[in-house]
Structure 1
């Protein structure tokens, strides 16, 4: 490691030690990409409480609290949403984009389906399903007694309404993806050529809905949209009662949302807290808690709040792990996260008229050798080990390790190698002509890369500066956009708007539960903020969800090829995979993050004396 970089790392770690001693620090935030299943289920093992700080993939944590005491009959629980920004407040699964809003939604709304440990739908949820012999039609039957919080029954036409919103010509959200477009007749409806979606039929008794797809796909079991929208509550776009624009900003979504989950929204303090009350008519049975409070807690304050017992549950940042271990009134649970962090490269723009991404060969980051070099220059292992205590570890593939069948463990991708980075830059024509230590572009012009990154606690800025130093060591001059970090909401607003100030950016994705990556990287995906497109990418993404992909070996072969292609093209460089950590107060009972456990569902959560 060059002396200059070593000195930066040493100073970074010194600063970090002060941060940790002061109980500060926070992970970066994530932008959630897809609807998550009701149970965020993963294969894991329950082991002893301590955690090894060796290679990240070998870490393991307990997944269920040890307290087995009798719960209080009408208990109250306080859960922290650890964030240095307010939640945005788009409290509907069709329209939300950011993880903190999902953290609110999960308590009052849910999918009609339950999910198993492989993220496949089961018949244990609020609805049962059958799939036709040709695998193109799924028939969904809602159980008796499934009610919205206002007492109205959940109807099959409410699920139809979700599809009508997702495919509406005026829908400007991010979830018009393959599984929506694949519904028979959806493209014609989306283009405004018809008012009906021919592939969806609702029974007269409103209990059953059948959805027919143009192509049979294995994603019907892991990526199907099964979250209804209460048409009677939010208003009907289809009959002109409300417009799409009015709907997304309405009080029925932002202040008074309803669902059919275990708790109903009693009061919202916008951006700050939500009071949930027990929904006695919940279809699974009476929830254990009488009330649940979800409140935003600043990352600098979460450890003190846990220590005082003001918070019962909190998913806390990895850089607070050592502080959390010192608290004797909590247990720490953990598992691999459905998320990863990345450095994205701006390669084009979003064409709002065509609703698709368009690459621009004149973009500053257009040369893939430049992008590869920047990946080789990043010391992600040091970030994971030294700043996150081994709770983050170098990422290789864009299909995360949670999807064990499809994650290519053998894929060779860039790891920290400054000399390789320098060689690639030389090959691409980026050379230091004037001797100032920074490379000029192939035409001999000054070359500065503008880097956007999110704020969020005290480690965000040191990490951004560490990467900037990594790139400086190979001769690339990188500067923060506007000379500072940006708050999460404004950050993603700039990224999605293709702000010309941004050449590269550091973000994070919540991947959702479907291994199909098209929701993030397809030509028509707004989440593809890198704006990367290619015919090969189109074909591989299509092959991965084709009828042939019901053959798991074929699907793995397709995704292996796709992972290799993306590692070669580098529209984004994955930096670290991560563990998520939950602190549970010692009075918490019936709480688990273990896949398949009843205690992983909020209606079972409880507290003891």
Structure 2
């Protein structure tokens, strides 16, 4: 196994100590005091305070506690649980869903929350003048969901066909019709609640109200005493009266602020974990493992004839990249131990599936990883007819073409660049000539989506609890189906089978039966190797030891309203 570069981590620690010792405080920079105020941080300013228009994490973080949805994810069970809706049921066909809304819920301005607000939010999502990502998710069977207001506390949704992901898809925030209805009618909804909006104009049903926004410095929040969950509890909820969200330019600055005791909790990078453990007692923090990354890192090979077939001539790379022997050899050349040591400082695991093991419902635990075995990889290449015929150290295929191709990833992503370096080293040992070509992100996107001019790519995708949300990647017609996107008809029988399983999985309402469809998809991907899985990072959190009920899961904070600061 290759030795990890501990020198990098040591250098970062030295710089951190020096920076903390020498920094001057600016507005918003003050050390924590025991009290009723929670301080966290986000990277960059929000772009909007309109949650439906939000496409960046900073905007989402800025409004997360102001608004609520009909349901929310239970981060422990990974199943939806009631929020603004108390209960729901569907008919036998699974095409009509009825949601019963929570009574006595009010907006921050005192107006009652009703079914009309739910219908209005759906109208905003489907409005062509309101660009948003939810419209695609909520298009079922090619049609929008029909929303009926049965009475002030009952909403009925009618779908064109059964859609099992519905509950995992309607956790989006509900917006006030009485505040934003005119803007939707006038066609100005997309411009509503920009970052210049006064905080008191942001009206939600959530546990906090925004009280102050200072660009490039901080956002401040105060508990809203009219929150419905407080009325249903024997203690004041949320437990913490005030919150501050510091705005920092990058992860390094965030780490420095945590070391300077300006933040209550922080998610450290792998190279910072050992350093934080050494400082835990002095900083009065606990450092705990949260779990594995919920996304995936993989290497994929281009199988698109649009790039490899011109004027009737077929580039040999297309034959290599669709050859099971070649792909299996590549899978057996993934040195997961070295990747974990050199990119995650020992904090990671070998990945076997496109779905993370943290997804307890849909992850298939029966898949066996391709063992790192260069001898087996060499044997597979030889079986496939890839032999060094001229003694130059590079294998040739049966037609005498040298086994040579480009390997790319997005330039500046240090983790992926290290992964590429390790892959290239082992592929060279196998007799493959690899040209590493890092790409600027805009160029990378162009190659993946427009001109398809690439050979092998190390990429990553985020993951969630709902596997249907990956259908744009897995479906043969998807525009994110990297290895051959936008297919009019499935190019292979196994891609056609994945398409069928995606359709069946989306329509099956019985959870135990439904998960079998996604297990089958994972088995096909594991066999056909369009996405050769690499490694998953272990996630950690460091937090002040006097925080009570602080539970961070791979899917987020569990019941954040119950977090408290011990006096």
Residues 578 and 242 of structure 1, relative CA distance in 2, 3 Å threshold: same
Tell me whether 1:448 sits opposite 2:405 in the alignment. Answer: yes
Per residue, is there more helix in 1 or in 2? 2
> Partner residue of 1:522?
475
**Is the 1:343–1:504 contact (alpha carbons within 8 Å) kept by the matching residues of 2?**
no
- From the superposition, tell whether residues 427 and 88 of structure 1 become closer, same or farther in structure 2 (CA, over 3 Å): farther
Whether the 8 Å contact between 1:303 and 1:324 is mirrored in structure 2 is no
Structure showing greater Rg = 2
Unaligned runs of 5+ in 2: 17-32, 231-236, 310-314
| Cα-to-partner distance string for 1:434-476 (whole Å, 9 max, x where unaligned) | 65544567672673324113635x6554344223323333334
1:227 to 166, 173, 177: 173
Of residues 239, 244, 248 in structure 2, which corresponds to 1:292? 244
Shift of 1:322: 0.6
Task: Please point out which of 252, 257, 263 is paired with 2:193.
Answer: 252
Aligned to 2:298: 343
RCO higher in structure (CA 8 A, sep ≥6):
1
2:560 corresponds to 1:568: no
1:143-182 deviations in Å (ceiling 9; x for gaps):
23434455554443443344445555677654455x6232
How far is the alpha carbon of 1:292 from its aligned partner?
1.8
Gaps of 5+ in 1: 1-5, 25-69, 190-196, 350-357
Aligned to 1:316: 268
Q: Kindly tell me: are residues 518 and 157 of structure 1, through their superposed partners in 2, closer, same or farther at Cα, counting changes over 3 Å?
A: farther
| TM-score, with length taken from structure 1 | 0.71
Tell me if 1:122 matches 2:122: no
Q: Deviations over 1:395-444 (max 9, x none)?
A: 10122212334322221342322233344445556555665544567672
Q: Deviations 1:92-149 (Å, cap 9, x if unpaired)?
A: 55555555554444333332214443322233x2222221341432222332343445
CA distance in 1, matches of 2:561, 2:517: 39
Alignment of 1:150-549 (within 5 A): 151-167=110-126, 173-176=132-135, 180-182=138-140, 187-189=142-144, 197=145, 199-203=146-150, 205=152, 207-230=153-176, 239=185, 241-242=187-188, 247=190, 250=191, 252=193, 256=197, 259-268=204-213, 273-285=218-230, 287=238, 288-296=240-248, 298-327=250-279, 328=281, 329-337=284-292, 339-345=294-300, 347=302, 362=309, 366-369=321-324, 370-385=326-341, 387-426=343-382, 436-438=392-394, 444=401, 447-453=404-410, 455=412, 461-481=417-437, 483=438, 494=446, 497-498=449-450, 500=452, 502-516=454-468, 517-518=470-471, 520-523=473-476, 525=478, 528-531=481-484, 534-547=495-508
SS at match of 1:453: coil
Going from structure 1 to structure 2, the CA distance change for 1:216 and 1:273 (only over 3 Å counts) comes to same
The change in CA–CA distance for 1:564 and 1:255 in structure 2 (over 3 A counts) is farther
1:144 to 82, 103, 126: 103
- For the residue of structure 1 that corresponds to 2:330, the secondary structure is helix
| Residue number in structure 2 paired with 1:591 | 550
When residues 584 and 156 of structure 1 are mapped into structure 2, their CA distance, relative to the original with a 3 A threshold, is same
* CA 452–595 in structure 1, closer or farther in 2 if over 3 Å, else same: closer
Asked if the contact 1:126/1:143 (under 8 Å) is kept, the reply is yes
Q: For residue 20 of structure 2, what is the aligned residue in structure 1? A: none
Q: Is the partner of 2:65 in helix, strand or coil?
A: helix
Distance across 1 between alignment mates of 2:477 and 2:79: 25
Alignment RMSD, CA only?
4.1
